[in-house]
Amino acid sequence: MPRIPAPPEPLVDERVIVRLSAERDIPEILIAYQDDPELHVHLGEQRPPSGAELGRREERAATERAAGTRLTLTITKPGSDVCRGQVYVRDVDWDNDRAELAIWLAPQARGGGMAAPALRMVAEWLLANTELARLQVITMAGNEPMIRAARAAGFADEGVLRAYMRVDGRRVDAAILSLLPGDLEG
């Protein structure tokens, strides 16, 4: 199984920096979950994680990256190292060379134009530095901010997956968007 390398340097844009996640991000992550009681729902989690759970995730991060199963990157503003959100590379399927990207931003960072460039930089880096040939974003069909950010990052709408995910005990539709290497040209 291929591994997911760590970006040797942070990915930088004039609006956002994306770097490997670190234990120092945990306090800001906990605050984001507290400030947005629905964040865990949008990320497909049963409940918000505890500080201990976030610590265990961070302890597993290098092993998961080396195994090619997951990568967690932290979003910051230029000139600051404070976590404003994260990008997850998850549901990696090496048999079909594809992975899902998920992103979240802390409530106070939303609307500042950080999501699309963060998604785009991570997608470009993954397609250039791994064997992945397809990246996808899957989100609740009504999650317009996420859908707009993915479109702005170059992801193409593919459609709606009916009753695809379970949220609060009920089945909901999901929007799926994708990015292929050829989409980056032009």
For the chain, the first-to-last Cα distance in angstroms comes to 32
Q: What is the rounded distance in angstroms from the CA atom of residue 12 to the CA atom of residue 128?
A: 16
pTM for the complete prediction?
0.94
Helices 26-35 and 51-67, interaxial angle, to 10°?
120
User: Using alpha carbons only, how large is the chain's radius of gyration in Å?
Assistant: 16
CATH H-level, domain 11-184: superfamily: Gcn5-related N-acetyltransferase (GNAT) (3.40.630.30)
Q: Is 78 exposed, middle or buried (0-12, 13-18, 19+ CB in 10 A)?
A: exposed
Instruction: Give 167's pLDDT tier (boundaries 50, 70, 90).
Output: confident
Does the pLDDT at position 185 exceed 90? no
Give the residue ranges of DSSP H helices in 68-173.
115-129, 144-152
Nearest of 121, 93, 110, 170 to residue 144 by alpha carbon = 110
Quick: pLDDT tens for 8-20: 999 999 999 999 9
87: nearest Cα among 109, 66, 56, 67: 109
Q: What is residue 41's predicted lDDT score, i.e. its pLDDT? A: 86
pLDDT digits (tens, 9 = 90+) for 124-164: 999 999 999 999 999 999 999 999 999 999 999 999 999 99
Average of per-residue pLDDT across 77-95? 96
32-83 pLDDT, tens digit each: 999 999 999 888 888 999 999 999 999 999 999 999 999 999 999 999 999 9
